[in-house]
Chain A
Amino acid sequence: MAKSRDIEVTKFSTHHVIVQPNPLRKVLRRVPEDDLDDPVARAEKALAGLSGEFKNWMAIEADRLSAAHAAILMNGFSDATREELFRAAHDIKGDAATFGYPSAGAAAESLCRIIEHAPDLERVPSDLIAHHINAVQAIVRERTKLDTAAMAGELSRQLRGIADAFLTHANRDRPEHLEAILAPSIAPAE
Chain B
Amino acid sequence: MYRIDFNKLRFLICDDNPHMRRILRTLLHSFGAREVYEAEDGATALEMYTHYVPDIVITDWSMPIFDGLELAQMIRQPESKGNPYAPIIMLTGHSEKRRVTVARDAGVTEFLAKPISAKGLYQRIMNVVANPRPFIKTKTYFGPDRRRNPNAAYIGPERRVGGEMEVMQQPSLLEKARAGI
CA of A105 to CA of B114 in the docked complex: distance in angstroms?
10
- Please determine whether B118 and A187 come into contact, CB atoms closer than 8 angstroms: no
- Please determine whether B3 and A187 come into contact, CB atoms closer than 8 angstroms: no
Tell me whether B30 is interfacial, beta carbon within 8 Å.
yes
CA of A183 to CA of B172 in the docked complex: distance in angstroms?
11
- Please determine whether B95 and A97 come into contact, CB atoms closer than 8 angstroms: no
Q: Majority SS of interface residues in chain B?
A: mixed
Distance (whole angstroms) from the CB of B54 to the closest CB of chain A: 11
- Please determine whether B1 and A35 come into contact, CB atoms closer than 8 angstroms: yes
CA of A95 to CA of B117 in the docked complex: distance in angstroms?
11
Tell me whether A90 is interfacial, beta carbon within 8 Å.
yes
Residue tally, chain A, CB below 8 Å to B? 66
- Please determine whether B174 and A182 come into contact, CB atoms closer than 8 angstroms: yes
- Please determine whether A43 and B30 come into contact, CB atoms closer than 8 angstroms: yes
Chain A residues with CB below 8 A from B31, complex form: 39, 42-43
Tell me whether B52 is interfacial, beta carbon within 8 Å.
no
Tell me whether A28 is interfacial, beta carbon within 8 Å.
yes
Residue tally, chain B, CB below 8 Å to A? 67
Distance (whole angstroms) from the CB of B89 to the closest CB of chain A: 12
Chain A residues with CB below 8 A from B2, complex form: 28-31
Given contacts A15-B165, A95-B20, A190-B119, contact A183 B96 (CB under 8 A): yes
Within 8 A of B (CB), among A1-39: 1-2, 12-20, 22-33, 35, 37, 39
Chain A residues with CB below 8 A from B56, complex form: 24
- Please determine whether A97 and B115 come into contact, CB atoms closer than 8 angstroms: yes
Residue in B closest to A181 when the chains form the complex, CB atoms? B96
Chain B residues with CB below 8 A from A20, complex form: 85, 135
Within 8 A of B (CB), among A63-110: 83, 86-87, 90-91, 93-99, 102, 105, 109
Residue in B closest to A24 when the chains form the complex, CB atoms? B129
- Please determine whether B30 and A14 come into contact, CB atoms closer than 8 angstroms: no
Chain B residues with CB below 8 A from A109, complex form: 93
Chain B residues with CB below 8 A from A61, complex form: 19
- Please determine whether B85 and A1 come into contact, CB atoms closer than 8 angstroms: yes
Chain B residues with CB below 8 A from A44, complex form: 118-119
- Mind listing 20 A-B residue pairs with CB under 8 Å? A1-B83, A14-B164, A18-B135, A20-B135, A28-B2, A28-B4, A29-B2, A39-B3, A39-B32, A46-B29, A61-B19, A87-B62, A91-B20, A93-B114, A94-B116, A98-B115, A105-B115, A112-B93, A179-B173, A183-B96
Could you list which residues of chain A lie within 8 angstroms of chain B, going by C-beta atoms?
1-2, 12-20, 22-33, 35, 37, 39-40, 42-47, 49-50, 57, 60-61, 83, 86-87, 90-91, 93-99, 102, 105, 109, 112, 175, 178-180, 182-183, 185-190
List 6 tightest A-B contacts by C-beta distance, closest first: A94-B93, A94-B114, A97-B115, A43-B118, A46-B30, A187-B113
